[in-house]
Structure 1
Amino acid sequence: MDRSDHLEHLDKHLVEELAQVARETVRDELREQSRKRRRTAVLYAASGAVALYAGGALALAVGLALAAGLPGWAAALITAALLGAVAYFLRGLAHSGHRRHTPHHVLGGGPPATPPTGLGMPYPPMPDTRPDTPHHRA
């Protein structure tokens, strides 16, 4: 084995070691990032569950407050109607927020995004100013 073969073997070994270190570093970084995201997801889920129970307790409190002056069935009906109205209001807010980001052609207004030829190419944009044209002498 001459010197060049020995150096080639060392280079190959060094490349393999560097590749292994790079793989381990990337793997460790991905693990750390996924651990952080998993923790965040668990906290959001716990927050949602606690908020759900808080909403249930609030609905129960409203129902019991109404039941002090009304029959139980009427208090429950009023509480359900209030919750339904709040749900409808929140749905409306979500729906109007969704429409704000929806293109006009999807909602039925404005020009289509693609020409009627069906080629799938959008119309070219119109310039704001008139292009400079060279003056030709006849």
Structure 2
Amino acid sequence: MDRLDHLEHLDKHLVDELAQVARETVRDELREQTRKQRRTAMLYAASGAAALYAGAALALAVGLALALGLPDWAAALITAVVLGAVAYVLRGAARPGGSRPEAGQGAGAGATAPVAAPPTGPGTPYPPMPPVAPGATSTPEPGAAPTRAGTDPEQPHHRA
């Protein structure tokens, strides 16, 4: 009996050691992955900042070039309108459905907003509704008795 107790203690010790090694291995791997991701994120942020400054310098150059032939305020206004249009186009390109105005945006007082289709894709909170109920026919057969959609006239309708 003592011999089995000793082996049980060794098994428990071995399992504890294996669990500790596995935890350390996973921890080291996660540290390495987060270090790589942090470096990548910092490079993207630096790239974005440099692009922002480049865009500002380009906008300034366009404004100054326009100011040669126009009043300063008109050159600034034209530059702002061009940048706004570029921002709008880029925003529309970033959306999955293209650049459709949302309900209430961009529509006049008398205009009606188009009916939006239910969202689809991996982030859909619910499945799309079918256009017709399952088992229902779109047009009744000639001479058939009217039935409710989704019911089978052959089945008995008993209530418990």
Q: Same fold (TM over 0.5)?
A: yes
Describe the shift of the 1:23–1:123 C-alpha distance in structure 2 as closer, same or farther (beyond 3 A): farther
Identical residues among aligned pairs (%) = 76
State the partner residue of 2:7.
Answer: 7
The match for 1:68 is 68
State the partner residue of 1:113.
Answer: 128
* Amino acid across the alignment from 1:113: P
Q: Does 71-80 or 16-25 show the bigger shift? A: 71-80
Q: CA deviation at 1:52?
A: 0.8
> Alignment length, in residue pairs?
111
- Within a 5 Å distance, the mapping from 1:1-138 to structure 2 comes to 2-95=2-95, 98-99=96-97, 105-106=117-118, 113-114=128-129
Which amino acid in 2 is paired with 1:22?
Answer: A
Assess if the C-alpha contact under 8 Å between 2:118 and 2:128 holds in 1: no
> Structure 2 counterpart of 1:99, which letter?
G
CA distance in 2, matches of 1:115, 1:74: 54
Q: Within 1, Cα distance between the matches of 2:55 and 2:134?
A: 50
CA distance in structure 1 between the partners assigned to 2:67 and 2:33 by the alignment? 51
TM-superposition CA deviations, 1:29-80 (whole Å, max 9, x none): 1111111111111111111111111110100011111112222111111111
Unaligned runs of 5+ in 2: 99-115, 120-126, 136-160
How big is the shift at 1:123?
A: 5.1
Partner Cα distance (2:49, 2:73) in 1: 27
Q: For 1:91, give the aligned amino acid.
A: R
RMSD: 2.7
- Larger fraction in helix: 1
Letter in 2 for 1:55: G
Is the partner of 2:70 in helix, strand or coil? coil
Deviation >4 Å, runs of 4+: none
SS in 2 for 1:78: helix
C-alpha distance in 2 between matches for 1:2 and 1:106? 70
* SS at structure 1 position matched to 2:97: helix
Distance 2:87 2:58 in 1: 15
Q: Structure 2-normalised TM-score?
A: 0.60
- How far residue 20 of structure 1 moved from its aligned partner, in angstroms, is 0.3
